[in-house]
Amino acid sequence: MNQDKLRELLDQVRCGSLPVEKALAALKHLPYEDVGFATIDHHRSLRQGVPEVIFCQNKTTDEIIAIIHRLRDQDEPVLATRTTPETFAEIQLRFPEACFYERSRAFTLGVDPDAPGIGNVLVICAGTSDLPVAEEAVVTARFTGSNVTQLTDVGVAGLHRLLSRLDVLHAANAVVVVAGMEGALASVVGGLVDIPVIAVPTSVGYGASFGGLAALLTMLNSCSAGVTVVNIDNGFGAGFAASLINRKINLAQREKRE
């Protein structure tokens, strides 16, 4: 139950249009609901402004569907990550309105994918091979309420591609940089902007990249101030963090204007 729904419920009790017993029934699953194989955090929206996200890896289809039902019963939108096309095909039979992002293996439900967001999160990826992780960051940032801009295939092997888009970099409130191989792009971006840069190393690369470890170490050792690093291939974590930053900056800008 998000803040708007809770406020509406309390207003109905205050006005006498909703009996206390019915309000208690609506609130009975707060703050969490134990369904045996999972303990669903229904207070996540109240604390963070975003409902709990389903990490589908190693969950059965039936478990994913059951969690979706519990979230939707509380009128919560759904973001699920790391699913498979086969699993989503079964889920879509139950929830035809679900929207699948095949490259990132994520899906959403109960949200308008074209709804306008706030502020601006920029997601940059070094190469087309990094797009699955970049798209996970994009889907996450949009789900959490941010406008998202993308720059694709602007890695350091052709730096002029990035330098020609400095206007896009400077228009953002937060930047997610997704790169495999040696992961140098995050340091370059960090030296060009005055906003937080969230670096995502990917497992893209040849043998000595060690499944993303080389990019991770490069990003952790960045000489650019303002670069923080999430785990290998963690587009979700980067998109979520960037959106939180964007929301705070957008709120501060709005309060300043008012």
Which pLDDT value is given to residue 168?
94
Q: Are residues 236 and 138 in the same domain?
A: yes
What is the mean predicted confidence (pLDDT) over 196-225? 95
Q: Is the dihedral of CA 156, 224, 210, 83 positive or negative?
A: negative
Which pLDDT value is given to residue 12?
81
Q: Which of 109, 142, 161 is the last residue of a domain?
A: 109
Q: How much is the mean pLDDT over the chain?
A: 90
Q: Are residues 245 and 131 in the same domain?
A: yes
Residues of the chain with pLDDT > 90, as a percent, come to 70
Give the C-alpha distances (Å, rounded to integers) separating 134 from 27, 68, 129, 179: 37, 25, 10, 9
Which pLDDT value is given to residue 201?
98
- Sheet arrangement for strand 54-55: 54-55, 78-81, 106-109, 99-101
Predicted structure pTM score: 0.85
Q: Which of 109, 134, 151 is the last residue of a domain?
A: 109
Burial of 142 (C-beta count, 10 Å sphere; 0-12/13-18/19+)? buried
Which pLDDT value is given to residue 30?
65
Which residue range(s) make up the domain with 179? 118-254
Which contiguous run of DSSP H or E holds residue 247?
A: helix 235-257
Q: Are residues 20 and 144 in the same domain?
A: no
Q: Are residues 102 and 123 in the same domain?
A: no
Residues of the chain with pLDDT > 70, as a percent, come to 94
Instruction: Give the confidence band of 2 by pLDDT, cuts at 50, 70, 90.
Output: low
Identity of the residue numbered 20: V
Q: Are residues 89 and 186 in the same domain?
A: no
Domain count, the chain: 2
Q: Are residues 123 and 239 in the same domain?
A: yes
Q: Are residues 245 and 130 in the same domain?
A: yes
> Which is nearest to 233 in space by CA: 81, 97, 118, 96?
81
Least confident of 42-56, 89-103, 150-164, 193-207: 42-56
Instruction: Give the confidence band of 29 by pLDDT, cuts at 50, 70, 90.
Output: low
Q: Which of 90, 109, 128 is the last residue of a domain?
A: 109
